[in-house]
Chains A and B, each alone.
Chain A
Amino acid sequence: MKKIKFIILSAGVILLSACTKKDPNSPGFEYMPDMYRAVGLEYYHAIEVDGDTIWGAQLPPKNTIARGYKPYPYPNTPEGYELAGQNLKNPLENSEENIKKGEELYTKYCIHCHGASGQGDGKVAGKLPGPPPPYTSAAILNLPEGKMFHSITYGKGLMGSHNFLSVNERWALILYIHKLQGKDKTETKQDSTASKLTAKK
């Protein structure tokens, strides 16, 4: 009897000591986990309801759109690309402020592939099978801004879709890319006034 008691006791002590060891995969003890872990759906968070997994990241319900969302009319096809090139004009003014905003966005969302000067020499570009073409290459220098917008929205070639950027953010980026291409300011200014006129029509 005594031996058994002794064994149980020592086993208990060893188990207790195991508890104090920190498991990096365990967040530790939570008193009332309901107050730590949101019961409501949070961003990119899954909850189990009756055996089904419901994700926080979901598409909007059918036939609804998010507030302020404007549908993009051109499909992701070669025809859509051409149409966007013909019809889309930059609604933003080619101002210092907008270009600065574009530069800020560029350093966050583009620079790692396209490089600081837009020559396609970012840090990631070297790891890609093919680096992005420089903005000053013949094909891109004369690209209509509508086509640029279309490419940012849907992606082109190796580049993926970047439509998590808002419409105005994408246009601001295009303003900054024009600056990197060294395009004459007055020329683009005329463009933007032209676009204003068309917008008024």
Chain B
Amino acid sequence: MNIKFSASVLLLFFTQIFFAQNADNGAKLFKQNCAVCHASHSDQKLTGPGLKGVFDRVPKPADEWLTKWILNNEKLIKSGDAYANKIYNENNKAAMTVFEGQLSENDVKDILAFLKAPPPASKNTPVAQSDNKQTSTAETEKSKGSNYLLIFLVIFVLVVLWISLRNVRIALQNVVNVKTGKPIYEPQSIGDEIKEWLVKNNRLVFVLSLIIVFVGMKSCWDELWKVGVYYDWKTQKGYKPEQPIKFSHKIHAGDNEIACQYCHNGVEKSKHSGIPTVNICMNCHKGIQEGHNTGKAEKAKIYAAAGYDPSTGKYDESKANPIRWIKVYNLPDHVYFSHQQHVVVGKLQCEQCHGNVKEMDVIEQKNPLTMKWCINCHRETEVQMAGNPYYDRLHAYLKEKYKGKRDVKFTVEKIGGLECGKCHY
């Protein structure tokens, strides 16, 4: 009796372990073979339909039908199975891989066990709210503006106070005058009084006006330097426009470690680094449909631009409408600049000109892009000639030219990087 009981307990225990192993193995197999096209425990449509509630949808007995379908869906469709054909047509006739030969029936059983098991705990943990930061910086900028207003308000109040106190003084003087029988005091106009004061203190006025004129000229001069420059040297702040989509470089290039070149893939091939087409966005966002910070709102803008309907998983080109990104780094039209030249031959890193983009939620211009800035870099940067066959001839020529001279650095300047025609033509 006892032995029987313990044996049955053991059996139960082992079967449970066995089933758990089944589901684990199924999870692994699902990840390897199915997850590319199917979401396991949700109804999100990827290439194929989501598998939540799949056992209720398919013809009964569900396990048998699903096994047939998974192993060879082509055969099932050709055999005229009504539900198989319905599914095939509903999903734009995108053929599912035939797994016969790759998966055994036991493998399929494991996968089905995994699908029946409760969904694995979600790995996603919310990322720190980056939007809050954006609003807080906006608030500090706002408070700066209100500071100016406050100063003007204070000045305004002081002026009003001065005028009213002056009137009170005159009125009090007149009350005294009436009582003592003196003639009533006729006040000067405010303008006359100021004029009198100015004439009395003419030296002070002269010095003050000189100071005002010079300060004014200096600030005018400073402002002129800022014409067409989107960057402030003093505050180290640059042009930081709000983009049509709240795209965060911090999340994409920083947290997810996507290489800059993945999206800006023209950088090694062309003058422009390139703004990614919406096709590149869709490479990931076909699957990632919800953001931690912005939810579905910003993703909906991508889908609108691509003409993509996430509920059906279909593109409609006639509805596609390009996103109007705002250009931040803008060189004037009369300057020639090539990304390819700087990145491929010059081997510059993106960060050298664009700052630490991996930390930026909203992209900001981090360098002034003035001619002085370009020239400075050309004067200081040494050309890495070793191991770069592009420079072989030039290097031999320069070695000959500077023979016997010490401490010669082959900077960009030495290879003609300061010539006008290099950039302006």
Contacts and interface: CB of A to CB of B under 8 A. Distances in A.
A66 interface: no
Interface string A165-189: 1000000000000000000000000
A38 interface: yes
A39 B333 CA distance: 8
Interface in B130-170: 141, 144-145, 148-149, 152, 156
Contacts of A127: 124, 256, 288
A194 interface: no
Contact of B239 (A10, A27, A57): A27
A17 B219 CA distance: 13
A87 interface: no
Contact of A130 (B31, B230, B283): B31
A157 B36 contact: yes
Contacts of A36: 228, 330, 332-333
A132 interface: yes
Contact of B42 (A108, A129, A132): A129
B113 to A, nearest CB: 18
A80 B42 CA distance: 31
Given A35-B333, A137-B33, 6 more contacts: A21-B148, A27-B239, A113-B284, A138-B32, A158-B36, A160-B286
25 contacts: A10-B152, A25-B242, A31-B227, A31-B228, A38-B333, A42-B272, A43-B272, A43-B274, A44-B277, A55-B322, A109-B259, A123-B257, A124-B256, A124-B288, A128-B288, A130-B35, A131-B35, A132-B36, A133-B32, A133-B33, A157-B47, A158-B37, A158-B287, A159-B36, A160-B280
B286 to A, nearest CB: 6
In this complex, the member of B46, B102, B262 whose beta carbon has the largest number of chain A beta carbons within 10 angstroms is B262
B239 A28 contact: yes
Contacts, number: 166
Contacts of B258: 112, 123-124
A45 B42 CA distance: 40
A73 to B, nearest CB: 20
Contacts of A123: 255-258
A69 interface: no
A123 B40 CA distance: 20
Contacts of B262: 108-109, 112
B37 A45 contact: no
B333 A37 contact: yes
Contacts of B240: 24
Interface in B233-263: 237, 239-242, 255-259, 261-262
B227 A133 contact: no
Contact of A134 (B32, B148, B239, B275): B32
Nearest to A111: B259
A25 to B, nearest CB: 5
In this complex, the member of A29, A113, A126, A158 whose beta carbon has the largest number of chain B beta carbons within 10 angstroms is A158
B39 interface: yes
Contacts of B46: 129-130, 157-158
A177 to B, nearest CB: 16
A13 B152 CA distance: 9
B256 A112 contact: yes
A72 interface: no
B286 A158 contact: yes
A78 B145 CA distance: 62
B239 A130 contact: no
B254 to A, nearest CB: 10
Contact of A139 (B32, B156, B274): B32
Interface string A38-52: 110011111000000
Contacts of A27: 230, 239, 241, 330
Given A130-B46, A158-B286, A14 B152 contact: yes
A38 B262 CA distance: 26
A150 to B, nearest CB: 14
B355 interface: no
Contacts of A13: 152
B206 interface: no
